[in-house]
């Protein structure tokens, strides 16, 4: 069982545009079920599924919804995070394109379960060519009473609109997202209070990933047990991955947790192009870890990746072959973070400046022992003292690269000396 | 103050109730209606006044987001992805083809102000990488020939 279709069940069952076709394919039955069995029962089902947030942080979704529900306020918001800013990631794009109604259904369910009446789909600006279709789908749902007042004849109300990002990676972070929706530059706030308590307009806000919402709908429809049929004990269910780079069939695949990286590359993505040898992958976006070819038999699960110093992150897998240099790759990663750093906190802002200088010297072969020492200090401070996840996780690709390719991160003399000791 | 700028600002701000919370969509919409794809200093001043906020806040937002510009740009913006997958897939040929076809370097605007060529980060087209975004449309798996055709089509669109 390699590729599965649990969350993506309807991907080729309808064109992704017509509400009627979605209904014919079983759309909005999860919402109907919610009305039949109560939101408490729905939350219990989500708990039982073991679903973890697919936006990167992997927080248990059931718990998160309960926390959101506990917040008391006259206005509460649910925001669908469709900012998808991690380089190498394009699975939310497919969910929006092939099955937008399921995302909307997930939003209504999340709204009712958390007693929130206002929803926003925050779609990245880079997906502007999809904005009109998303708006059209929302309008269709209003027209047929799947949004608005007294949804499907129930006592529940839920409003929904699209908000366009404007090209900022950091706006994928909850607070930065709220700031940008308030007409400000998207810089994270310090916590507490948390987004769930004081987010958009300082009101309780649930920020939840597009895939998480889609998964909720499938889980309610088919039951937690059918979700848990896939995956492992600690990583139940399925995951959408975006695989790209030097493979024959790049794309989005839904997989059960537990396939190995090698199976994903060879059996789903058609292997490395042109018969070349694999070199490394980066898993989870630009902030994800680097895994060398020799460890590609690692299973793709939260627990196995954690053991290797990596995480699932955004679900991206970027594959590099023997022609790709890891140092050049890391330089691209660093350029990305340097450009996207919002500049609010010193460790990330200045750390990125220093990393650039150090990397330039490593790449052109003029780095000294002091540079490698400073690299340690900078990464340490960034990882520990950055204000938001951006600066904190930026160190992951470098740390994993150091762990698996130590020879790239020391002067030749030092490397030889160390080898002699071991 | 130029009356046509006032008029554009008013028509857009009115749609958003002159509420500064909506500054981001307001700026995006105004920029879309500005021929050179940017928010001029004069326009920024007008917007600040209409929304009753400081000019520095307007500039903070314009300069923070990469989809907004405070400098005039070409009518058609061509963005070449320079992120991880596109680098792994060697986007250097693609960059060269666009530079040759347009006769400019990345970061520049053609003398007729028709095209601006810039680098951008991953826009989620890694499955067709190396990828390029021309206005709002995404293209991948390009050849020298296709780049030529794309530019010709965009050139043709004006005249
Ligand atoms: C810098 C930064 C960028 C992020 N970008 C995204 C993103 O593009 N999409 C996303 O869903 N989550 C992103 N996140 C994670 C969100 O903050 C949040 O944890 C997530 O949307 C919660 O949804 P989930 O519980 O469904 O995972 C980002 C976090 C940080 C720190
Ligand atoms: S870690 Fe970086 S992106 Fe996050 S708040 Fe600090 S400067 Fe901004
Ligand atoms: S890395 Fe270039 S489009 Fe994603």
Which of the two residues, A1 and A408, has the higher pLDDT score? A408
CB A111 within 8 A of CB A117: yes
Integer CA distances (angstroms), B141 to A382, B13, B113, B149, in order: 37, 40, 27, 14
* Cβ distance of B84 and A329 shorter than 8 Å: yes
Rounded distance, CA A29 to CA A190, Å?
40
- From the list A228, A113, A108, A86, the residue with the least C-alpha distance to A168 is A86
pLDDT of A421: 61
- From the list B159, B90, B101, B99, the residue with the least C-alpha distance to B130 is B90
User: Which chain B residue has its CA at the smallest distance from A162's CA?
Assistant: B25
Is the four-CA dihedral A62, A187, B35, B25 of positive or negative sign?
A: positive
Integer CA distances (angstroms), B90 to A336, A377, B83, in order: 17, 32, 11
Which of the two residues, B118 and B3, has the higher pLDDT score? B118
Residues of A in contact with B64 (CB under 8 A): 168, 185-187, 342
* Cβ distance of B24 and A318 shorter than 8 Å: no
**Segments making up each domain of chain B, as ranges:** 3-64, 76-158
Q: What is the pLDDT of residues B23-34, one digit of tens each?
A: 999 999 999 999
ipTM for the predicted complex comes to 0.97
Number of other CB atoms surrounding residue A181 within 10 Å = 24
Q: Does the pLDDT of residue A139 top 70, yes or no?
A: yes
Q: What is the pLDDT of residues A75-120, one digit of tens each?
A: 999 999 999 999 999 999 999 999 999 999 999 999 999 999 999 9
Strands B132-134 and B76-81: antiparallel
Task: Report, as an integer, the average pLDDT of A340-359.
Answer: 97
What is the CATH code for B76-158?
3.40.30.10
Strands A251-256 and A289-292: unpaired
Which residues contact residue A58 at a Cβ distance below 8 angstroms, ignoring those fewer than 6 apart? A52, A302, A311, A312
Atom of ligand 2 nearest to the CA of A349: 7
Nearest to B84 among A88, A169, A339 (CB): A88
A178 touching chain B per CB within 8 A: no
For ligand 1, the distance from its centroid to the CA atom of residue B143, given in whole angstroms, is: 35
- Which candidate in A75, A94, A167 is best for mutational testing of the B interface (most B CBs within 10 A)? A167
Q: Does the pLDDT of residue A297 top 90, yes or no?
A: yes
Atom of ligand 3 nearest to the CA of B130: 2
**Segments making up each domain of chain A, as ranges:** 19-228, 238-321, 326-421
pLDDT of A266: 98
Question: In a 3-state reduction of DSSP, which class is residue B123?
Answer: coil
Q: What is the pLDDT of residues B53-105, one digit of tens each?
A: 999 999 999 999 999 999 999 999 999 999 999 999 999 999 999 999 999 99
Q: What is the pLDDT of residues A142-158, one digit of tens each?
A: 999 999 999 999 999 99
- Which candidate in A88, A133, A179, A183 is best for mutational testing of the B interface (most B CBs within 10 A)? A183
Task: Report, as an integer, the average pLDDT of B31-60.
Answer: 97
* Cβ distance of B87 and A332 shorter than 8 Å: yes
Is domain A19-228 classified as CATH 3.40.50.300? no
For the Cβ of B126 lying below 6 angstroms from any atom of ligand 3, the answer is yes
Sheet holding B132-134, edge to edge: B115-120, B76-81, B132-134, B137-139
A268 touching chain B per CB within 8 A: no
Phi first, then psi, for residue A322 (nearest 5°) are: -60, -20
Q: What is the pLDDT of residues A175-216, one digit of tens each?
A: 999 999 999 999 999 999 999 999 999 999 999 999 999 999
Mean model confidence pLDDT for chain A: 96
Alpha-carbon gap: B53 to the closest alpha carbon of chain A (Å)? 11
pLDDT class of B120 with cuts at 50, 70, 90: very high
For the Cβ of B83 lying below 6 angstroms from any atom of ligand 3, the answer is yes
Is domain A238-321 classified as CATH 3.65.10.10? no
Enclosing H/E stretch for B80: strand B76-81
Q: pTM value?
A: 0.97
Residues of B in contact with A86 (CB under 8 A): 122
Task: Report, as an integer, the average pLDDT of A280-290.
Answer: 98
pLDDT of A170: 98
Rounded distance, CA A240 to CA A119, Å?
24
Mean model confidence pLDDT for chain B: 96
Nearest to A166 among B24, B126, B138 (CB): B24
Alpha-carbon gap: B63 to the closest alpha carbon of chain A (Å)? 9
Q: What is the pLDDT of residues A24-41, one digit of tens each?
A: 999 999 999 999 999 999
Q: Does the pLDDT of residue B148 top 90, yes or no?
A: yes
For the Cβ of A211 lying below 6 angstroms from any atom of ligand 1, the answer is no
A14 touching chain B per CB within 8 A: no
Rounded distance, CA A328 to CA A18, Å?
45
Task: Report, as an integer, the average pLDDT of A109-133.
Answer: 98
CB B89 within 8 A of CB B125: no
What is the CATH code for A326-421?
1.20.1440.230
């Amino acid at each position: 069982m390699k590729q599965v279709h649990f969350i993506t069940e309807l991907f080729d069952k309808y064109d992704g545009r017509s509400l009627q076709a979605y209904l014919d394919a079983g759309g909005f039955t999860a919402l109907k079920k919610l009305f039949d069995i109560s939101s408490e029962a729905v939350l219990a089902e989500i708990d039982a599924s073991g679903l973890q947030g697919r936006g990167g942080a992997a927080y248990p979704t059931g718990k998160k919804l309960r926390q959101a529900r506990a917040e008391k306020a006259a206005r509460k918001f649910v925001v669908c995070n469709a900012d998808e800013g991690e380089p190498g990631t394009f699975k939310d794009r497919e969910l929006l394109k092939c099955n937008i109604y399921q995302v909307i259904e997930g939003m209504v369910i999340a709204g009712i379960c958390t007693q929130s009446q206002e929803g926003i789909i925050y779609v990245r600006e880079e997906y502007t060519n999809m904005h009109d279709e998303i708006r059209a789908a929302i309008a269709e749902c209003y027209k047929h009473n799947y949004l608005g007042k007294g949804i499907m004849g129930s006592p529940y109300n839920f409003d929904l609109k699209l908000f366009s990002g404007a090209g900022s990676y950091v706006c994928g972070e909850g607070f930065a997202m709220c700031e940008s929706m308030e007409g400000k530059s998207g810089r994270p706030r310090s916590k507490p209070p948390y987004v769930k308590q004081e987010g958009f307009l300082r009101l309780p806000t649930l920020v939840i990933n597009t895939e998480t919402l889609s998964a909720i709908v499938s889980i309610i429809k088919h039951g937690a047990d059918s979700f848990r049929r896939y995956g492992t004990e600690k990583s139940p269910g399925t995951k959408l991955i975006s695989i790209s780079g030097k493979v024959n069939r790049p794309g989005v695949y839904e997989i059960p947790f537990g396939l190995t990286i090698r199976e994903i590359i060879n059996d789903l993505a058609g292997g490395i192009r042109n018969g070349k040898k694999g070199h490394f992958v980066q898993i989870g976006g630009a902030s994800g870890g680097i895994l060398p070819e020799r460890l590609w038999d690692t299973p793709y699960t939260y627990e196995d990746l954690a053991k290797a110093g990596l995480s699932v992150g955004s679900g991206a897998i970027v594959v590099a072959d023997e022609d790709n240099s890891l140092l050049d790759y890391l330089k691209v990663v660093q350029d990305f973070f340097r450009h996207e750093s919002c500049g609010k906190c010193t460790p990330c802002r200045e750390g990125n400046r220093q990393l650039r200088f150090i990397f330039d010297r490593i790449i052109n072969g003029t780095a000294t022992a002091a540079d490698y020492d400073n690299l340690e200090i900078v990464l340490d401070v960034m990882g520990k003292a950055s204000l938001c996840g951006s600066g904190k996780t930026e160190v992951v690709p470098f740390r994993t690269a150091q762990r698996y390719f130590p020879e790239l991160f020391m002067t030749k003399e030092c490397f030889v000396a160390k080898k002699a000791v071991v | 103050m130029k009356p046509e700028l006032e008029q554009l600002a008013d028509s857009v701000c009115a749609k958003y109730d002159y509420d500064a919370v909506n500054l981001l969509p307001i700026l995006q919409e105004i920029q879309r209606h500005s021929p050179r794809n940017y928010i001029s200093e004069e326009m920024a001043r007008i917007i600040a006044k209409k929304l009753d906020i400081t000019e520095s806040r307007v500039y903070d937002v314009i300069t923070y987001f990469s989809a907004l510009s405070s400098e005039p740009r070409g009518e058609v913006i061509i963005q070449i992805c320079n992120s991880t997958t596109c680098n792994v897939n060697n986007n250097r040929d693609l960059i060269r083809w666009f530079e040759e076809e347009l006769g400019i370097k990345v970061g520049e605007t053609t003398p007729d102000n028709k095209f601006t060529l810039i680098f951008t980060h991953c826009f989620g087209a890694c499955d067709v990488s190396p990828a390029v975004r021309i206005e709002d449309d995404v293209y991948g798996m390009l050849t020298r020939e296709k780049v030529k055709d794309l530019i010709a089509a965009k050139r043709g669109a004006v005249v």
